[in-house]
């Protein structure tokens, strides 16, 4: 990517932190609703969310990043995204506190991922953008889940 190239991203909030994922990965943004629980999964696995007859594996993104859980509010959303894996695409619903906007970042605005002083693992960070209102963390969705975790999530959802 050259310095002048732009990436469109959907920004969302978890507490005071602002995150972003490329708009190309976002299928849909849903109002929060209760999920159909799947027993025996990791703590961040909430269950399945119905999206026009399709069961979407849904996770609490706060818990996945090691942040404390919060009760859903009227602003809580489910961000349905495509996570590219080596052998397939995992469709996943991320429960986030709020969706903020679709925005653009120029490649030369994106700094490297800090390796200290953050509350979530830095390998999940694709970069950081300094904006007037603070920092926005670009999430590297392909690194959020190991291949084994993705396989487990898929198989638990299918069970």
- 128 Cβ contact list (under 8 Å, min separation 6): 110, 111, 112, 113, 114, 135, 136, 137, 138
Q: Judge contact between 67 and 96, C-beta under 8 A.
A: no
Greatest mean pLDDT range, 38-42, 64-68, 92-96? 92-96
Give me the residue spans of the domains in the chain.
6-158
For residue range 65-92, what is the model confidence (pLDDT) as tens digits?
888 999 999 999 999 999 887 778 889 9
Residue 134 is predicted with a pLDDT of 83
Q: What is the pLDDT of residue 30?
A: 97
Dihedral over alpha carbons 135, 31, 27, 93 (to 10 degrees): 80
Q: Which is higher by pLDDT, 1 or 42?
A: 42
> What would you report as the CA-atom Rg of the chain, rounded to the nearest whole angstrom?
15
Which of 39-48, 60-69, 71-80, 111-120 is modeled with the greatest confidence?
71-80
pLDDT at residue 142 greater than cutoff 70: yes
Q: Which tokens go with 15?
A: 């507490």
Indicate whether 140 pLDDT > 80: yes
Domain 6-158 fold is OB fold (Dihydrolipoamide Acetyltransferase, E2P) (2.40.50)
Q: Give which of 68, 56, 8 is closest to 32, Cα–Cα.
A: 56
In this structure, are residues 152 and 92 in contact, taking their beta carbons and an 8 Å threshold?
Answer: no
- Residue 31 in 3-state DSSP? strand
Pairing of strands 134-139, 17-22: parallel
Predicted pLDDT of residue 85: 77
What is the DSSP code (8-state) at residue 36?
Answer: B
């Amino acid at each position: 990517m050259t310095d002048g190239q732009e990436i469109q991203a959907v920004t969302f909030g978890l507490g005071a932190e602002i995150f972003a994922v490329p708009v190309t990965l976002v299928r849909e943004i849903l109002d929060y609703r209760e999920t159909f629980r799947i027993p025996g999964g990791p703590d961040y696995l909430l269950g399945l969310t119905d999206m026009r007859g399709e069961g979407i594996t849904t996770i609490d993104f706060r818990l996945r990043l090691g942040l404390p859980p919060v009760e859903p509010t009227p602003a809580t959303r489910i961000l349905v995204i495509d996570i590219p894996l080596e052998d397939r695409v995992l469709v996943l619903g991320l429960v986030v506190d709020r969706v903020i906007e679709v925005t653009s970042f120029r490649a030369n605005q994106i700094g490297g991922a800090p390796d200290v002083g953050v509350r979530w693992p830095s390998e999940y960070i694709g970069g950081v953008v300094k904006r007037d209102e603070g920092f926005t963390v670009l999430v590297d969705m392909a690194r959020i889940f190991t291949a084994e975790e993705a396989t487990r999530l898929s198989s638990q959802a299918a069970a």
